[in-house]
Copies of this chain bind each other. A is one copy, B any other.
Amino acid sequence: MYDQILNRLSQFISLNKAEQDFFVSKLIVQECNKKELILQEGQICKYAYFINYGCIRYYYNVDGQENTAQFFFENGWYTDYDSFLTGKPTNQNIETLEKTQLLLLAAKDLQQLYIDIPKFERFGRLMAENAFLGIRQRSEILENQTAEERYLTLMKERPKVFERIPQHYIASYLGIKPPSLSRIRKRIFEHQ
């Protein structure tokens, strides 16, 4: 159950057995069906979510439509970092797209880990840096790339998305309508 998260953690910091056990004792297991809403706008995002298996997306409700912002797969972390850090309500919604198992780490437990096991500061720093780089990259792509360029970037960097995510969510993530996605796919494959 905890091998994957401990392996992932060991890429950032080195923990002994007692520290690993202490960390694991803070985790809450959550089993979810496909299409389950885990977090809803207006709620406070109290947890960082590690995906043991499965897949989630998060989206914003804008003018009556769902704007998909990101997908996360097994071995990845998700949190609304803003709400998680400040305790203010989130404007994000997360839902599972497959049967999913999550390991939840509460914000207050992470704060306590920083105190009890200072090595976690390094983990926290790298997570925060990654969160920063993630939203920076996402906003640069949205501002500077055409829909076709975004599609090619996604194909190159995250082919898994095309294997596991329904087309209409991919279109939403690229900021276009499903028929535009079909046209882009057609154009690209005709040129190959």
Q: Tell me, yes or no, whether A22 is within 8 Å of chain B by CB.
A: no
Instruction: Report the minimal beta-carbon distance from A57 to chain B, rounded to whole angstroms.
Output: 19
Bound-state CA distance A128–B128 (Å) is 5
Q: How far is the CA of A114 from the CA of B114 in the complex (A)?
A: 15
Tell me whether A135 is interfacial, beta carbon within 8 Å.
Answer: yes
Q: Mark A72-86, 1 if CB is under 8 A from B, else 0.
A: 000000000110011
Question: Among B81, B86, B121, B131, which residue has its beta carbon within 8 angstroms of that of A122?
Answer: B121
Given A118-B118, A139-B139, CB of A82 within 8 Å of CB of B133: yes
Given contact pairs A128-B128, A139-B139, A85 touches B122 in the complex (Cβ within 8 A): no
29 residue pairs bridging A and B, Cβ less than 8 Å apart: A81-B129, A81-B132, A81-B136, A82-B133, A85-B129, A85-B132, A85-B133, A86-B133, A114-B122, A114-B125, A118-B118, A118-B119, A118-B121, A118-B122, A121-B121, A121-B122, A121-B124, A121-B125, A125-B125, A125-B128, A128-B128, A128-B129, A128-B131, A128-B132, A132-B132, A135-B135, A135-B136, A135-B139, A139-B139
